[in-house]
Amino acid sequence: MDYAATLLARLPGTSARRSKDLRQLIETLEAYVPAEQVELVLKAYEFGAIAHQGQTRMSGEPYISHPVAVAKMLADMHFDSQTIIAAILHDVIEDTDVPVSELEELFGKEVATLVDGVSKLDQMEFTSRAEAQAESFRKMMLAMIEDIRVILVKLADRLHNMETLDAMPREKQARIARETLEIYAPIANRLGINHMKVALEDLGFRYLYPFRYAVLDRALKRSKGSQRQIVRKISERIMKAMVDEGIQGDVRGREKHLYSIYKKMAGKKRLMSDVVDVYGFRIIVPDVNTCYRVLGIVHGLYKPMPGRFKDYIAIPRINGYQSLHTTLFGPKGLPLEVQIRTTNMDRVAESGVAAHWQYKAIDKSIATPQRRARDWLARLNEIQQTGTSEEFLESVKVDLFPDKIYVFTPRGDIMPLPKGATIVDFAYAVHTDVGDRCVAAKVDRMLVPLRSTLLNSQTVEIITARGAKPNPNWVSFVTTAKARTAIQKYMKNMRSSESIDLGRRLLDRSLKDLGSSVRKVGKVRLHEALEELGIKDADALYEQLGLGERLAPLTARFLIGEKEDSPEPTSANLVIAGTEGMVVSYAKCCYPIPGDDVMGYLSTGRGVVIHRNSCGNLANFRKQPNKWITVSWEEGIDRDFSSQIQVETVDKTGVLAEVAAVIADSESNIEEVSVNNHHEDISSMTFLLQVKNRVHLARILRNVRKMQNVIRVSRDNAMKNTARRMK
């Protein structure tokens, strides 16, 4: 402290306020940091004060007051000295001429890296969660992955800025407040730092909606007088009951913060009196066993509300939060919300990853919140390696704004998932390999479809098979970022492989049509052509051809040196087997099946789309004959294809079931069915079926036509209603 006094006396323009702030910071640090590290913090303060000399904040205060306040917030959370030094210097790189190299030389690489990371975050601006600059958001998440302390310094920086936001113009206040509510408060929540989350939310609410805030604040202050008396009486009664049972602990009346009241009113469309008149109590006891004993005591004093008990001790929240929650019928029927937890749980609930800060600990699994945070960051790192910045942002939103459920593995392990998660989400949450090889599942020992939505406390068993692969359709119903990313990665790899194979076949057919082949073209000419086209290798060329981004007939002519002035369709025939995967698809306007006369259309980005020759949509593509290729079916195809039929029946009860039964008896599955009563006596039914080929479809049509209540059945008429559905 003598050094601090000398330092303050030596620095120009040192105010009593600055002296007090620095002394408070040093006093806090001395309680948990060695003396030599406190000296380093003072050295950083001296360096920062000189670097920021002459700079002031919008409020008129010397600029150094802000970094010191940020450092004090982090010191109150017992962060290590490197974090405190980085907090003091966090604006030096951006606002002064000091380079990163100088910080590294004076304070070490770790501090310099932290300051550099925070400086980069300071340059980011967001408009809202929905419209956030995706690449900036991605950089912020990656900074967290590299060193979580970067975002913790940024959170403290944002909190102090929010506390001093009065000096800003109204428009800037609203923008910063919205950004705080939609980006930074959720991150604080996800990291379990409750006191920061609450402060950021209330300040964000105050500056984003000042009139709503003022109304709620006045109403809450008016009700506090009577509330305090009720809270005191109930607290004393609970405390007396605990003492009678020989239990030591602390009972605190818990005040609701304004933003949570506002969210409940807005979300549940409830009056303010319904929300404010809920009394909160927090009971702190020494150990877990006592938590459950106290739960019994409060349930004996006041009747519990059915369905309102939650055990977050046995099943912690995703951010490491633990507590027992129960809601009781208090005096005169007033709802009492009670939280029961240990001293350590209370510390974790308020500080999350900052509780028992062990960044330097060798075994990082010691502290549950840190481990959970790092597990989350590891998942973010996995997600960010695939896809665009926008996809990454959408994926992270799921984690930042969670509404969780908890399910069990067969061994009793707890798996937290977002509300609405499916079996496939669970499988990928267990492990990517389990998700990839998932073929079936049991929920509470009953077989269920993979798209089934999971509910709280269910036990889920995944059945896998060697050689099984993800189904691309899964991406339409999964909700978690990990599942979606894994499926999309597989689809991308599969699509690339299939398009390369198809492109090679298309080019080979086109070259044969011109009396040549890839072998005759030769490696030298192929290499020259790739350079002229600006393509890195042959596989990249084949992939473009397979995806329809480049036309095989024109590419073939280019390779052998012919001119491209006569873009006619190639007569070479592509044989399809129905197993080509994602780069050969079947048009939903005409539903081609083996036995139909078909043509292939090269659709950019989708590969080859197969149409029936009689399809009405063919007329739309007459202007692009070079995109059509001749296609034929391979002999002996053994797989199911979609086909559509239309059935007109007498409008009678049970006819739909009768027709469906006949279709099932004809060895066909019904994918979809729709019914239209276009006449008071006639029903029109459209069925989407699974068939093997034209012979199979003809048998189905014949069997349906024989039915007593069927007036008409056709395949082609169904196309009239679906001609617009080209793709």
CB 235 within 8 A of CB 279: no
Please enumerate in sequence order all residues whose Cβ is within 8 A of that of 108, keeping only pairs 6 or more positions apart, or say none: 82
Q: Is there a contact between 595 and 693 (Cβ–Cβ < 8 Å)?
A: yes
Catalytic position from the list 21, 46, 61, 95:
95
What are the CB-based long-range contacts (under 8 Å, 24+) for 432-437? 432/482, 432/486, 434/462, 434/464, 435/470, 435/483, 435/486, 435/487, 436/468, 436/469, 436/470, 436/486, 436/490, 437/464, 437/465, 437/466, 437/467, 437/468, 437/469
* Nearest in space to 476 (alpha carbons), one of 466, 486, 467, 484: 484
Q: What is the DSSP letter of 628?
A: E
DSSP helix/strand/coil, 159: helix
Look-up of token digits 């109930």: 234
Beta bridge partners of 250: 284
- C-beta of residue 636 within 8 angstroms of C-beta of residue 615: no
The SS3 of residue 653 is: coil
Phi, psi of 263 (to 5 degrees): -65, -40
Helix axes 81-88, 109-122, angle to 10 degrees: 50
Rounded Cα distance, 176 and 153, in Å: 17
- The H or E element spanning position 428 is helix 423-430
Residue 399 known to be catalytic = no
Residue-by-residue DSSP string for 5-64? HHHHHHSTT--HHHHHHHHHHHHHHHTTS-HHHHHHHHHHHHHHHHHTTT-B-TTSSBTT
Report helix, strand or coil for 723. coil
Q: How many CB atoms lie within 10 A of CB 201?
A: 24
Quick one: tokens of 353? 């990853």
Helix, strand or coil, per DSSP, at residue 386: coil
HSE of 392, CA atoms in CB hemisphere, 13 A: 23
Structure tokens at 370: 């840190």
The residue among 614, 589, 611 whose CA lies nearest residue 600 is 611
Mapped onto helix, strand or coil, the DSSP state of residue 169 is coil
| Cα–Cα nearest to 107, from 78, 85, 90 | 85
**Given the residues 21, 46, 61, 94, the one annotated as active site:** 94
d(CA 702, CA 700): 5
Q: How far apart are CA 352 and CA 194, in angstroms?
A: 7
Is-catalytic flag, 94? yes
Residues 455, 456, 459, 464, Cα dihedral to 10°: 50
For strand 607-612 and strand 324-329, is the pairing parallel, antiparallel, or unpaired?
A: unpaired
Structural Rg of the chain based on CA atoms: 34
Determine the Cα–Cα distance for residues 633 and 630; give it in Å rounded to an integer. Answer: 11
Q: 498: which 2 tokens?
A: 């299939």
Helix (H, G, I), strand (E, B) or coil at 442: strand
Cross-strand pairs, 56: 62
Instruction: Report angle CA 60, 63, 66 to the nearest 5 degrees.
Output: 105
Active site residues: 94-95
